A and B are shown apart, each in its own frame.
Chain A
Amino acid sequence: MEIERFTSNQIIVHFIAALSLLVLYITGIPQLYPEHLGWILDLVGLSKAMFIHRLAGFGLVSVAVYYLIYSIFSVIINGREYYSKILFPTSADIIDYVNDNLSILGMQQQRIDYDKYSWLEKGLIWSVIIVDCIIMGITGIILFAPWSFASILPLSYLMTIRLVHASFAILSLCVILPHFYLVHLSQFKFPMSKSMFTGTISEEEAREEYPKWYREVTGETHD
């Protein structure tokens, strides 16, 4: 039996945001390391790469704005409780975080009782919101048309903004790479996790990975 985990809205938003973000890496990172990744720019052409980069940036910012508006309306209609539970860190997440780290260090063998989204998944979504959408979005908009801001911002500010944009791009890539490992290369998900496309998760996987949420959905008592 399959359990519903993601709505169709979440699936589409994830698809557009992820595709935009990945295209941004492919077209943006080679500009930071031309001696190592210059072949990508040679292959595509710098002007075309820049055009694709800006198009993907527009896609990411658009989807972020759309989801922000959608979330505000959702909170107004459905109340804050659901969002508080799935998005904001709770005391249970802090306990899970400590327990996870203790078990990595071999100091504890306790089974982690994750809710619908674990502390790691909540951390990932916050990193996307803060780093990719807010910081990269704002600096990206300024770098999109720097001449428009040249009268307001001194050149040194524009150079700093470029540095911030590049540094946070690297940080963002370092966050996405473990996500790649978790959804593609981990033992039970290879070659890829399909839940972000079908919106459902198998009962076994839900029981194994999100026991607390599974009990809530099925009404099963604690084992």
Chain B
Amino acid sequence: MRLMIEKIGFPLVLFAMLTIVLVETNIMTSGTIITVGLNLALALVLTQILALLYGFSKSLKILNKTRRHPLYSPAREASTHAQKK
């Protein structure tokens, strides 16, 4: 499955990039391919926005959950943090 995602993902990203290059260099400025490619590029951007919001909110939730835990100790967390450094 993951290999398949990579095999599909690479041409999709490449296609979106090539479309932008074609439009910007005036080689091809209209047509269905260009419309699909540009919309795909912005769809990828939108996916990134959703992933960014999801990832950030999830990590904030985990942080909040950890701090509300009855056994949470700021001193122990500082010590673990220092050890990791």
A-contact bits for B1-17, CB 8 A (1 contact / 0 none)? 01101100110010011
How many A residues face the partner with a CB closer than 8 A? 38
Give chain B's interface secondary structure class: helix
Give chain A's interface secondary structure class: helix
Which A residues lie within 8 Å of B23 (CB)? 33
> A178 at interface (Cβ–Cβ under 8 A)?
yes
Which A residues lie within 8 Å of B13 (CB)? 177-178, 180-181, 185
Kindly identify, within residues 11 to 38 of chain A, every residue whose CB is under 8 Å from any CB belonging to chain B. 11, 15, 18-19, 22-23, 25-26, 29-30, 33, 35-37
Q: Which are the 5 A-B pairs with shortest beta-carbon distances?
A: A185-B9, A197-B55, A197-B59, A181-B13, A36-B35
In the complex, the answer to whether B44 meets A177 with C-beta atoms within 8 Å is yes
Additional A-B contacts beyond A26-B45, A170-B20, A184-B48 (8; CB < 8 A): A4-B81, A4-B84, A22-B52, A26-B46, A36-B35, A187-B2, A198-B59, A198-B62
B-contact bits for A24-54, CB 8 A (1 contact / 0 none)? 0110011001011100100000000000000
> A192 at interface (Cβ–Cβ under 8 A)?
yes
B17 smallest CB distance to A (angstroms): 5
